[in-house]
Amino acid sequence: MKGWARLKRCCERGLLGRMPDAYPGLVLIATVLSLATAGSLTLLVWQLHAAPAENSDASVGSLHVDVQDAGNRQRVAARCYLTDESGKPWTPAGAFTYDKRQEHHFITQGAFEIAVPPGRYLLRVERGPEYQPWEARLTLQSGKTHSETVRLTRWIDMNQRGWFSGDLHNHRPPEQIATLLLAEDLNLAPVIADWVWEDRQRSNPPATADPFRKVDPTHVYSLLDKEVERLKEGPGAVDLLGLKSVVPFEGYRLYPPNDRFCDAAHAQGGYVDAEKIVWRDIAALVALGHIDFAGIVHNHFNRHDVEFETDSWGMIPKDRPEFNTVAGMPLWSMEVYYRFLNCGFRLPVSAGSASGVKAAPLGYSRVYVKTQKAFSYNMWFEALKQGRSFATNGPMLFLKVDGNEVGSTLNLGKRRPVSVNIEVEAATILPLDRVEVLFKGRIVHTIRAPDSSGKWHARFTSEVGESGWFVARCFERAGSTIRFAHTSPIYLRFDGDTGIAAQDAQFLLKWIEREIAFYRAEPGFKEPSHREEMIALFQKAKAVYENLAK
């Protein structure tokens, strides 16, 4: 008897611990069926029975929510957060849900209903950065239905301006993407279902002969995109985008070098995104022309905090203490990016949230691209490759030099001092800290307050006398996290002047030499030829930087 009594108590505790809090009117009754004599197996059958009337559905409140676009009063998909007074998240049955660290949300396709215990709740609804978030505190009563109409107001329409958004790094389930694109007001998303993590395949691509999917005329996604992510002693991570067929992986953490996967992507007309511009092998891949886009607004920034841990994952060292602060972390990637630009490499900025792995919704980090023609998957990537982009996790940012937008090149003829007209504008729904314009990595203009109309906008002239580039960046006020934006460059060229900054080439040369020494000493290679192939990649890049540093 003691044996089955102990088993009964254990089962009771385990089952009770899994009872849904939303159904307090359910209790457990144990029916014990003895199948034989003492010492034989005892079967415990647990039955769910309705509790007495005082704990029935009358003790539950109901919430019905309708989500609409305030402009046309049509229902729209959106991202929702519903929490009780203790901070516990609640989710309606059947909704797409997301739970990563502090991020707990669900997706509505326009309306939802949920039964919850009576009490006070906080409901927040968002739909990407172009809509103002909606938030309200609700009191739900027993046995009553509370109906709420949420009208989301679009404060800026980037598609009307010719800009279309994409999140280049996500691991969300392919079957959810069509709904998520609409809920996040995101135009494009390569889906990285094909994911290599360290020495193994973490997830596999879907079997499909049709990798490019169209939800509607302004929402598209792809299905065969791949991330090869080999950290710590490995070379780092590259994302292969716009693939028409699967790029196979045969190797381990240290082998083969990432240039093999980059070549495979380019061979089928795909692209390579350095999802962080600070991985161990990125300086080599950039030098040899393997990288198409530079990840500036990456997955170490999310709605809740900033992830500072980088060295242990195999990123290059941070050489200033401020890079380990919320406000300084974005500057780290930016300064590395500027060194590449000062060596003559044309790298458009990109962004990715790693939603599906990180505590971020799809599209939290996104890159806006201005297409010259009608929007399509191919046109969007072609425009991104041309540098017509800015990356952001919140603000909108626009830059012109002599009327030319990002991605343009101004040919100024014979080298001489030339004054150019610069226009910069930033827009956001949260307070900005500053807007900056830089030439070759040096700040040439700062806006620290809006103008009399409330806009963060400036027109000014700047004198240049050498080949180089202008970019703009802006930052909201830092808290537990930071929201910011950064444009791709506008290039200026004088005849006969490369604009190469030798000191930046020296920085990248030392980076390469550090990694060569690292891989010569690394004991993890399975074959001597594997070590030789990795080092050969860096040796080729070393020759490039030695030439630039002269």
- Which helix (H) or strand (E) is 384 found in, with range? helix 377-385
Task: Report the 10 Å Cβ neighbour count for 530.
Answer: 18
Per-residue pLDDT at 47: 32
Per the DSSP assignment, residues forming a β-bridge with 447 are 435
CA 385 – CA 15 distance, rounded (Å): 55
Taken in order 247, 250, 253, 258, the sign of the CA dihedral is negative
Per-residue pLDDT at 451: 84
Per the DSSP assignment, residues forming a β-bridge with 34 are 42
> Using H for helix, E for strand and C for coil, what is the string for 413-476?
CCCCCEEEEEEEEEECCCCEEEEEEEECCEEEEEECCCCCCCCEEEEEEEEECCCEEEEEEEEE
| Spatial CB neighbours of 207, under 8 Å, sequence gap ≥ 6 | none
CA 310 – CA 329 distance, rounded (Å): 11
Per-residue pLDDT at 57: 56
CB 498 within 8 A of CB 346: no
**Is the full-model pTM beyond 0.85?**
yes
Residue ranges, the chain, pLDDT below 50: 1-56
Q: Let me know the angle formed at the C-alpha of 44 by 38 and 46, rounded to the nearest 5 degrees.
A: 160
Burial code of 320-334, b = ≥16 C-beta within 10 A, e = fewer?
A: eeebeeebbbbbbbb
Q: Which residue has the tokens 């039964």?
A: 115
Residue 286 gets the label, from left (phi > 0), alpha (psi -120 to 50) or beta, of alpha
CA 426 – CA 424 distance, rounded (Å): 7
- Phi then psi dihedrals of residue 366, to 5 deg: -145, 155
CA 61 – CA 148 distance, rounded (Å): 14
Burial code of 377-402, b = ≥16 C-beta within 10 A, e = fewer?
A: beebbbbbbbbbbbbbbbbbbbbbbe
Per-residue pLDDT at 58: 59
- C-alpha 313, offset from chain centre: 18
Number of Cα atoms under 13 Å in the Cβ half of residue 473: 20
SS3 281: coil
* Encoded tokens for 139: 């009191």
- 116-159 pLDDT, tens digit per residue, is 999 999 999 999 999 999 999 999 999 999 999 999 999 999 99
- DSSP codes of every residue in 58-92: GG-EEEEEEEEETTT--B--EEEEEEETT--B---
Task: Report the 10 Å Cβ neighbour count for 350.
Answer: 31
Q: Which residue has the tokens 């795909």?
A: 270
* Encoded tokens for 434: 């500053």
Taken in order 408, 412, 416, 418, the sign of the CA dihedral is negative
CB 388 within 8 A of CB 369: yes
* Encoded tokens for 49: 């029975």
- DSSP codes of every residue in 202-264: EE-----S--EEEEETTEEEES--EEEEE-TTS-EEEEEES-SS------BTTBS-THHHHHH
* Encoded tokens for 342: 């000062």
- C-alpha 413, offset from chain centre: 40
CA 450 – CA 456 distance, rounded (Å): 4
